[in-house]
Amino acid sequence: STMNKVSAIFVLGPPGSGKSTQSRLIAEQFGLFHISAGDILRAEVESGSEDSIMIKAKIANGELVPSDFMIRLLLRDIQKSGKNKFVIDGFPRSMDNLNALSSTSIETEFVLHLVCSKEVAIERLSNRNEGRDDDNIKTIVKRFECFESVFPVLECYDSKGKLYKIDAEKSKEGVMQDIKSAFTMHPR
Ligand code: UP5
């Protein structure tokens, strides 16, 4: 079936910066459908699909799954939702991800960059007790190394006037307040 016009707001930031937390709130507040790239991968591992071994290994090493694979999973969930306006967190994380995204019909409204120091982020991740395989200090270090691949992506969106930097070290409510301001500033 042909896909209707689909647009998304992307939420990026280091591990533990609050991407999923804020995206859930954004979805509620602005009536968008929330998709978390990380959640999609964890669900895929749970489902025991043939790709689960590859995904598990990538997550354990804090590395990215192939871009075309991630796009396929995202488009699957987008179509399944039947919606056309999304908030997507944790993607695109590299220039290769961005190029793959550009070849889809997903239109980027704008991007929120949750700015958070490593210290604060690590503190949050160490206090999270959700039993995530990648919440151990060895993998956390690797996730931060991998995070650097998003820098050129952020620069690219910035040069197009589509990037909003948000101080993510504030309280959850404080961060949401600043996100609401970004929504007000950006013509939609
Ligand atoms: N918390 C949140 N906000 C807070 C606040 N303002 N004040 C105090 N506490 C706050 O939050 C983390 C914790 O902090 C929670 O306990 C929360 O209550 C608290 P969360 O909202 O979960 O932060 P988030 O930024 O979403 O952190 P997460 O750990 O999920 O980010 P990662 O980027 O590490 O993980 P993700 O799930 O996106 O990806 C996991 C792995 O999947 C990647 O490492 C990679 O291997 C793979 N992946 C790909 O390969 N490709 C992709 O496109 C995406 C993922």
Residue 3 pLDDT: 59
Report CA Rg, the chain: 16
- Rounded to the nearest angstrom, the distance between the alpha carbon of 36 and the centre of ligand 1 is 9
Contact 21, 32 (CB under 8 A): no
pTM: 0.97
Ligand 1 pocket (Cβ < 6 Å) reads 13, 15-21, 37-38, 41, 58-59, 62-65, 70, 90-91, 93, 124, 128, 134, 143, 171-172, 175
Residue 129 pLDDT: 86
- 35-76 pLDDT, tens per residue? 999 999 999 999 999 999 999 999 999 999 999 999 999 999
Q: What angle do CA 122, 123, 128 make, to 5 degrees?
A: 95
**Cβ atoms within 10 A of the Cβ of 161, count?**
9
- Rounded to the nearest angstrom, the distance between the alpha carbon of 39 and the centre of ligand 1 is 9
In angstroms, rounded to a whole number, what is the distance separating the alpha carbons of residues 22 and 168? 10
ipTM computed for the complex: 0.99
- 91-137 pLDDT, tens per residue? 999 999 999 999 999 999 999 999 999 999 999 999 998 989 899 99
- 147-186 pLDDT, tens per residue? 999 999 999 999 999 999 999 999 999 999 999 999 999 8
How many CA atoms are closer than 13 Å to the CA of 17, on its beta-carbon side?
A: 23
- 2-26 pLDDT, tens per residue? 557 999 999 999 999 999 999 999 9
- Rounded to the nearest angstrom, the distance between the alpha carbon of 92 and the centre of ligand 1 is 14
Residue 4 pLDDT: 73
Residue 53 φ/ψ, nearest 5 degrees: -65, -45
Residue 115 pLDDT: 98
Contact 87, 33 (CB under 8 A): yes
Determine which helix (DSSP H) or strand (DSSP E) holds 106, and give its type and residue range.
strand 106-115
- Residue 120 has which token pair? 């604060």
| DSSP character string of 33-87 | EEEEHHHHHHHHHHHT-TTHHHHHHHHHTTPPPPHHHHHHHHHHHHHHHT-SEEE
- With 70 as the cut, is the pLDDT of residue 1 above it? no
- Rounded to the nearest angstrom, the distance between the alpha carbon of 31 and the centre of ligand 1 is 22
* Residues 70/135/16/23 CA torsion (nearest 10 deg): 50
- 71-94 pLDDT, tens per residue? 999 999 999 999 999 999 999 999
